[in-house]
Amino acid sequence: MSNMDTPSPQPDRNRNRLPTLFEVLSRQTLPPVDLFSFYIYMRDQQRSVDYLDFWLDVSQHMSLCRHYVRELRRSVLVATPDLEKTGSKRSSYILDQMGEVNDPSGPSANLNSDERIKDQNLSAYLRQDNGQTNDSPQSSLDSNQSRIRQSGDRHRGNGERLPRPSFMSRNSPTRTDSNSPAHTVARADIRASAEKILFTYLLDGAEREVTLPQGIVQDITALIEEEGRDDPEVFDTAKDYTFQAMERDAFPGFLRSKALGNLVPPSAFLRLVLGLLILPFTIGVYSLSSQQYSIDPVLALAGLSEYTFMNWSRIREPYIRKLMNKRALMVLLFTVLIGVGLIVLFIFVPGHRL
């Protein structure tokens, strides 16, 4: 594998707090608060997975741009005389001064001054480079059709959307779906990626339209269709807006669901039904307590968390494991106290007046 590929970030096992949305999106967390679990939560409970898919596709677009510019920068370093023959001295200088570009996972507001300058240089170079390459139009068309087929394959026959393929292997390196030669991103791929995001998420009546302020959508449409831009800055405002919306509306519920409990809503409802119908006090109280706190204490102490109905994964995030153990012991203690109280009540209280 070429070093063009971005290595997967390593999770922080010494984190003694709840993770942030930035850390989840950056794949710096472990189950049950990893990106895969967040995607399942957005799909099954929040019912707004299109926003997360939009974020991920914009991040993938940024990765394409980074890989493309990185390859050009390498060619500048090893083949500068050839670039000088084509009159690309200014482009060569920009690439040479750009250095390594940034990871696209966070919002642009979180970048420091050096990172922001690198991103601006990246976009500036792509704007200058736009239209100067001679990539085949058929390559762009084939690349776009490949992305459309990939998007359609993420739907089951019953209409339920499958998790994105990149989640199947959490440690897999970043890959592109272009038709370019191995380890190479063509300029046409970047254009096709920008148009795919526009037509899939932003235009009125799009297949998976996300709700954004009309001014943002109009600006992006004008930049892509009228000015012919496809650099990462085109989507910065929409990306930041989406990040803030997920951080405000979805992420707190995700943490409550996965950091403080280990049951999904169907399992919690099943325990409510069992608690109301089963006569043995201990089992009934256990089921009702599990439903009330959205945690099955025995399974939590065993290190298991439910991500879909009756499908379990190991709790690998250390801080979440400690938090879950404390909460499970509290629920168990509550269950024992209530169960003992009911048993004493029914044993020692006479059933008729003396």
**Virtual torsion, Cα 40, 42, 48, 49, nearest 10 deg:** -50
3-class DSSP state of 307 = strand
Residues with Cβ within 8 Å of 161's Cβ and at least 6 positions away in sequence, in order, are 43, 49, 154, 155
pLDDT value, residue 172: 42
* Residue 285: Cβ within 10 Å count: 21
pLDDT value, residue 109: 56
Segment (H or E) for 313? strand 311-314
Cis peptide before 252 (omega within 30 of 0): no
Return phi, psi of residue 307, to 5°.
-105, -30
Give tens-digit pLDDT for 75-122.
766 555 544 444 444 444 454 454 555 555 556 655 555 665 666 666
Dist CA 45 CA 264 (whole Å): 9
Dist CA 39 CA 166 (whole Å): 11
Give tens-digit pLDDT for 48-65.
999 999 999 999 998 898
Nearest to 261 by CA among 45, 78, 69: 45
pLDDT value, residue 170: 45
* Mean pLDDT for all residues in the chain: 78
Instruction: Write down the residue that tokens 């050839």 correspond to.
Output: 82
pTM of the model: 0.76
